[in-house]
Amino acid sequence: MDMPRSEVRKLRFDEYSATKHLEHATRQAHARNYQDFLIVDVDSHHYENESYKEVFSYIDNPVIRRAAIESTKRGGRSSMMNSQVGYQDLGGRITRHELRKYEKVPSDVHRDIAMTKTWMDAMGVDYTCLFPTPMLFLGLHPQIEIEVAMAQGYNRWLCERILAAEPRLVSMLYLPFNDPEAAYRTVKEFGERKGVVGFMVTSPRYKPVHDNAYVKTYALLEEMGKPISFHAAYNWNDQSLQMTNRFISVHALGFMWFNMVHMTNWVINGLPERFPKLKVMWIESGLTWAYSLMQRLDHSYMMRTSDCPSLKRRPSEYMREMYYSTQPMEVPEDPSILEATFKMINAETQLCWSSDYPHWDFDLPSVIYDLPFLSEKAKRNILGGNAGRLLGLDPTPVKKLP
């Protein structure tokens, strides 16, 4: 029997437990019976900068490796890596960013694995696709060889220290896209490693996706059956985005902007016709951008087919065959607007839930589960079935709700 409880707690800001922080999420998980079906999170993060000393030791190039390791000696910051202005923790209002350092984990497991599994269980997640955090901006590094070296070192570290040790963690590895040959080598070297379920391009960068230099990488990915994904972020130094003066503005626009450019180039240049079996996923742009871009491109296409003669169908038809991650899912007050968006992108088979945890605007599975217009089957597809099939994961739930 569920007895009424009586308890009084004092709050403490000198200790932290993700299990406690997410206690309300665990209640949601129990109430919605998440233990009964697969939940896959296609986009979550760790803070690889907390493991820079380990990561840098995996860099092959001896000169860059030494410079990178030396750079970690100066107060925890690394002068090898670029960054972006961005007060994502809302001036301390998102308390987990500061407090997570107090989380206690077992000493015999890598801290990233222990911390990730803790929040996964608290939310009801079976598998998560883990991505880095500061490296989301690495495509903007002025030195291409640093992007290449860091991608190589990080990917090897991730495979050997994290993915090899924990089957519930998978990843789409970082592609050093500014060097097309290095991107190809990355797929060749890591494509069959344990836990590698695809490859990821960080979207803020200035290389067009339709460049012929990438064709052999796309062909290899298509042959291997591994998806390519484009993970959104922003560049506040972009000439247009420089005009925005608040983080809310650069975030709202920036996380859509680069994926809108890449998607437009991808479709208009006929890449879906040239690589019809290549699976493509768009991550962390929310959903409204796709709803808008489909209509925009279709409208112009009918008048300007000569601009994109490779296309045999409307742009939206190609876009409807791609995959989308949910977060940060815009939830309008009128649910019919969201329902139309789901219909537009064929959500029941193409949409994959993502948390983006532990970042500031994370989503819980309930953002999908509680939608009034979805059937139980559609909810389960979006929360895990679609991603499970796309990434080749065992559909049996393995989570352990606290």
CA distance 99 to 92: 10
> Among residues 9 and 74, whose Cβ is nearest to another protein?
9
CA distance 52 to 114: 18
Q: How far is the CB of 285 from another protein (least distance, A)?
A: 18
Cβ atoms of residues 235 and 204 within 8 Å: yes
Q: How far is the CB of 21 from another protein (least distance, A)?
A: 7
Which residues, listed in sequence order, are joined to residue 323 by a DSSP beta bridge? 281
- Of 43, 147, 179, 363, the one binding another protein (CB under 8 A) is 363
DSSP state, residue 175: P
Cβ atoms of residues 330 and 286 within 8 Å: yes
CA distances in angstroms from 251 to 257, 277, 307, 364, 396, listed in the order given: 10, 32, 31, 20, 36
Q: How far is the CB of 90 from another protein (least distance, A)?
A: 5
Q: How far is the CB of 260 from another protein (least distance, A)?
A: 25
> Among residues 86 and 191, whose Cβ is nearest to another protein?
86
- Contacts with another protein in 82-101 (CB under 8 A)? 90-96
> Among residues 10 and 101, whose Cβ is nearest to another protein?
10
Give residue 243's identity as a one-letter amino acid code.
M
- Of 17, 71, 361, 389, the one binding another protein (CB under 8 A) is 361
CA distance 171 to 200: 9
> Among residues 307 and 370, whose Cβ is nearest to another protein?
370
**372 lies in the site for another protein, by CB under 8 A:** no
| End-to-end Cα separation, the chain, in angstroms | 18
138 closest CA partner among 80, 97, 76 = 80
Q: Which residues contact 18 (CB under 8 A, 6 or more apart)?
A: 96, 100, 103, 115, 118, 119, 122, 358
**10 lies in the site for another protein, by CB under 8 A:** yes
Stretch that binds another protein, among 7-15, 79-87, 126-134, 270-278 (CB under 8 A): 7-15
151 closest CA partner among 168, 169, 134, 164 = 134
Q: How far is the CB of 362 from another protein (least distance, A)?
A: 7
> Among residues 93 and 277, whose Cβ is nearest to another protein?
93
> Among residues 10 and 74, whose Cβ is nearest to another protein?
10
**1 lies in the site for another protein, by CB under 8 A:** no
CA distance 278 to 226: 8
> Among residues 18 and 271, whose Cβ is nearest to another protein?
18
Q: Which positions from 11 to 50 touch another protein by CB under 8 A, shown as an x/- string?
A: x---------x-xxx-xx----------------------
**277 lies in the site for another protein, by CB under 8 A:** no
Give me 301's structure tokens. Answer: 């296409």
Stretch that binds another protein, among 6-14, 317-325, 348-356, 389-397 (CB under 8 A): 6-14
Cβ atoms of residues 179 and 139 within 8 Å: no
Which residues, listed in sequence order, are joined to residue 64 by a DSSP beta bridge? none
Q: How far is the CB of 29 from another protein (least distance, A)?
A: 11
Cβ atoms of residues 269 and 211 within 8 Å: no
Nearest 5°: phi and psi at 45?
Answer: -135, 155
- Contacts with another protein in 195-214 (CB under 8 A)? none
Q: How far is the CB of 32 from another protein (least distance, A)?
A: 11
> Among residues 31 and 63, whose Cβ is nearest to another protein?
31
CA distance 262 to 289: 12
> Among residues 67 and 360, whose Cβ is nearest to another protein?
360
**330 lies in the site for another protein, by CB under 8 A:** no
CA distance 324 to 260: 13
> Among residues 7 and 36, whose Cβ is nearest to another protein?
7
Contact footprint for another protein (CB under 8 A): 4-11, 21, 23-25, 27-28, 90-96, 360-364, 366-367
